[in-house]
Chains A and B, each alone.
Chain A
Amino acid sequence: MSLNNNILIKLNNAGYRHKNKWLVRDVSFIIEKGKIVTLIGPNGSGKSTIAKIALGIHKKIDGEVEKYTDKIGYVPQKISIDWTLPLRVHDFMLLTENIEDEAVNEALSSTGVINLKDKNLGNLSGGEFQRVLLARAISKKPELLVLDEPVQGVDFTGEIALYELIKKISDELNCGILLVSHDLHTVMSATDHVVCLNGHVCCSGSPIDVAKNNEYKALFGEKAAQILTRYEHNHDHVHTIDGDIKKN
């Protein structure tokens, strides 16, 4: 058992090989209750792979994953529903667990798609479907949420609202969140800990620390660094990993 009972999941030098080629290696981080850990990195840097390692979808891994919860909600990056299977949003909400109707309605309302409850899943737009996926994951009131590009295809205002919702969920449910995103701008402001990946961990730390890191600049370019600098100017403090507030 862990010494710190706030820890939900802990990766120790985790990595995954496919046909003798490393997709990602030597990744270590912990996610605690109420904390948001964000994985950033370019395409093919192993973000989704790390999410799948953490979830136990990839089984033959190097290193270790210590999981201290099995109440998990997952929003996968890609999901295709087969037309041969007639499935309404309501059926989909109850896919992995029986959830009371009240909780289902609440979750669908919070992501703004309660009006779609009786619609067929195949008739939703990409953005609507994404909102349903998120609603399903949070309706279980999980202890750990793994969100792989959760706002892809959602319109711009909706995107901001959903990120705010994610932040709110992490506070209200006190659940840990592993967020995979390439959207630096919105993501960084809500994150407690950033892991910057490119096949391995380039750098990690609080958003501000990562933004100052040269490897991060090399990976994403000066522009990205400026986004965060701007963000830094708007605030006078940073959150450290253990949740303390540190004045700049």
Chain B
Amino acid sequence: MLDDFFIRALVAGIGIAFVAGPLGCFVVWRRLSYFGDTLAHSALLGVTIAYSLEFNIAVSIFLISSVIALILIQLQKKTNLPSDALLGLLAHSSLAVGLVVIGFLAFIRFDIMGLLFGDILAVSKKDLVTIWVGGSLILLVLRLIWRPLFASTVNYELAEAEGLKPDRAKAVFTILLAAIIAISIKLVGVLLITGMLIIPTAMARNLSDNPQKMVFFSIIGGLLSVVIGLFSSLEFNTPSGPSIITAALALFIISLLKIKQTIKLKN
């Protein structure tokens, strides 16, 4: 028999995989891996603020990540530093500040490992509601901005010229990224959320010749990673985040074999 906590983790992971697939595609297409990383690192600060003010964790992470995204946009406009340097600056300083604040809040017991790498035991019934309701909202909004976001991913000027308002779509997408980080932190952990977005998508890229297929396969890849990862986490008593990501990596490697086969067929 499966334990309740494990079923909760499974249901949570499946919900996250459905959302991570399509969002991950855009992260890869728009080259936002490091941007996602930066938002995820800042999530730790969100957690500490939530604890110290006794505030909802998901909402707090969502707000902090959105603020960090806004700060990034301002810094990009006002400094001469390249984007990757700014991302590194924000990612590591927000992670550091988060850890320092945790040091100050000695009176609260933090499971730092759980925050960084995810904890299979941490998912509560309330979290399930957050994940599935929040996840559905994220997918709904993504559906609404799909055309302008996709068109501007292919070519910004074309989208702008033909009246699709790409800047608005980009801003909304940033908020969606902050939102998925907020809902998946407990299971996957701060350091590995970007992996959940990118690795199943990278696998899907190896199997797809059009965008719809790529979204489909990255959802499938995410679901398989979650199921395989969580069962092995249970079996070998490993942290849930790394287990899921390792499963995703295994799937990616298998998808590379598929590429080799197709190349052979072509020759």
Contact = CB atoms under 8 A, between A and B. Distances in A.
Interface of A: 52, 55-57, 70, 72-74, 76, 79, 81-82, 84-88, 91-92, 95-97, 120, 140, 146
A74 B154 contact: no
A143 to B, nearest CB: 12
Given A56-B161, A79-B157, A146-B161, 6 more contacts: A52-B157, A79-B155, A85-B154, A87-B211, A88-B209, A95-B151
A128 B158 CA distance: 18
B227 to A, nearest CB: 26
A96 B157 contact: no
Contact of B161 (A72, A82, A85, A88): A72
Nearest to A146: B161
Interface string B197-216: 00000000100111101100
Contacts of A87: 154, 210-211
Given A86-B210, A88-B210, A95 B154 contact: yes
B155 A120 contact: no
Interface of B: 28-29, 31, 147, 150-151, 153-155, 157-164, 205, 208-211, 213-214
Contacts of B211: 85-87, 91
Contacts of A74: 157-158, 161-162
B73 to A, nearest CB: 16
A85 B210 CA distance: 8
Contacts of A88: 209-210
Contacts of B154: 81-82, 85, 87, 92, 95
Contacts of B205: 84, 86
Given A85-B29, A85-B154, A92-B154, A120 B160 contact: no
B210 A91 contact: yes
Nearest to A77: B157
Grouping DSSP codes into helix (H, G, I), strand (E, B) and loop, the B interface class, with mixed when no group exceeds half, is helix
Most buried by B among A70, A85, A140: A85
A96 B164 contact: yes
Contacts of B155: 76, 79, 81, 95
25 contacts: A52-B157, A55-B157, A57-B157, A70-B163, A72-B161, A72-B163, A74-B157, A74-B162, A76-B158, A79-B155, A85-B29, A85-B211, A86-B205, A86-B209, A86-B210, A87-B154, A87-B211, A88-B210, A91-B210, A92-B154, A95-B150, A95-B154, A96-B159, A96-B164, A120-B209
Contacts of B29: 82, 84-85
Contacts of A76: 155, 157-158, 161
Most buried by A among B29, B147, B163, B205: B163
A86 B214 contact: yes
Nearest to B25: A85
A74 to B, nearest CB: 4
B236 to A, nearest CB: 34
B263 to A, nearest CB: 15
Given A57-B161, A72-B161, A73-B162, A84 B28 contact: yes
A74 B158 CA distance: 7
A9 to B, nearest CB: 12
A79 to B, nearest CB: 5
Contact of B162 (A91, A92, A96): A96
B209 A72 contact: no
A76 B157 CA distance: 8
Contacts of B214: 86
Contact of A85 (B147, B153, B158): B153
A96 B210 contact: no
A57 B166 CA distance: 11
B158 A95 contact: yes
Contacts of A82: 29, 31, 154
Contacts of B161: 52, 55-57, 72, 74, 76, 146
B162 A72 contact: yes
A87 B212 CA distance: 10
A204 B27 CA distance: 47
B221 to A, nearest CB: 15
Most buried by A among B153, B159, B162: B162
Contacts of B157: 52, 55, 57, 74, 76, 79
A95 B153 CA distance: 10
Contacts of B159: 95-96
Contacts of A91: 210-211
